[in-house]
Amino acid sequence: MNVLIVEDDALHRAFLNEAVRAALPECGHVIEAENGLKGEGQARTLRVEHVVMDLQMSERNGIEAARTIWRERPDTKILFWSNYSDEAYVRGVARIVPEGATYGYVLKSASEERLKLALRSVFVESQCVIDREVRGIQQKTFGNSLGLTDVEYEILVDVALGLTDKAIAKRKHLSLRSVQNRLQQLYEKLGVYETPGQGSEGWFNLRTRAVAVALSRKVLNASAIERAERDLRQSAGV
């Protein structure tokens, strides 16, 4: 068994290296990459099937790198190790996991023993391991009637990109009325109709307000918007 560590912090890479060797005595080699782009290359060249992946990195974040790795080798087992349990990251990971894939999502605040247990569970026992805090975000996001559906979330991202209703309808293969109805639902779920006081009607541009609220609640983050911008440019051939 070989394990690839993709982490941009040198101290964290060293800590993970020690944790991997302690938790997985059957591990032959531990390979390190300092960002997602190099991680993709290492996984491709060395055909690594076990990856520990940070989420927030320069030159390709963990979600982008994992998506590429899984696209090329869907059986790869990936343990995400991150500071972040924001809805944007949780949703971003959920959207790229191939059907039937084994993965984990452990926070860096978890104990060393928790990390070692996750390494063995994911890489040796082929069990999915999700930290309780992350699981709670998943349940809130996907199991709550007030959580955004995938279509509503995609429309929110398109609004953040500055697309018009007509452009969103064309991009999502929906009618204009359907997009507008989903926007109304999105506004209600985010509470952008709520006003700060009496006589405040007309204060807000609802589209801008929806993006601001989503960012403040960590439903959206810069990485999600940057990823969507790249996808938009690719689909437009720019």
In the numeric block, which tokens belong to residue 46?
């060395």
Q: What single letter denotes the amino acid at residue 238?
A: V
**Domains (range + CATH), the chain:** 2-142 (3.40.50.2300), 150-236 (1.10.10)
CA angle (108, 113, 115) in 5-degree steps: 40
In angstroms, how far is the first alpha carbon of the chain from the final one? 41
| DSSP-derived secondary structure letter, 48 | -
> 10 Å Cβ neighbour count for 143?
8
Beta-carbon-side half-sphere exposure of residue 174 (alpha carbons within 13 Å): 19
| DSSP-derived secondary structure letter, 149 | P
Question: Residue 216 and residue 214: Cα distance in Å, rounded?
Answer: 6
- Residue carrying the six token digits 């999105």: 186
Q: Are the C-beta atoms of 221 and 89 separated by less than 8 Å?
A: yes
Q: Are the C-beta atoms of 24 and 52 separated by less than 8 Å?
A: no
Q: What single letter denotes the amino acid at residue 131?
A: D
Q: What is the pLDDT along the chain (238 residues), one digit of tens a residue?
A: 999 999 999 999 999 999 999 999 999 999 999 999 999 999 999 999 999 999 999 888 999 999 999 999 999 999 999 998 888 888 889 889 999 999 999 999 999 999 999 999 999 999 999 988 887 776 666 655 457 787 888 899 999 999 999 999 998 888 999 999 889 888 888 888 765 554 555 677 889 989 998 888 888 888 788 888 888 888 776 5
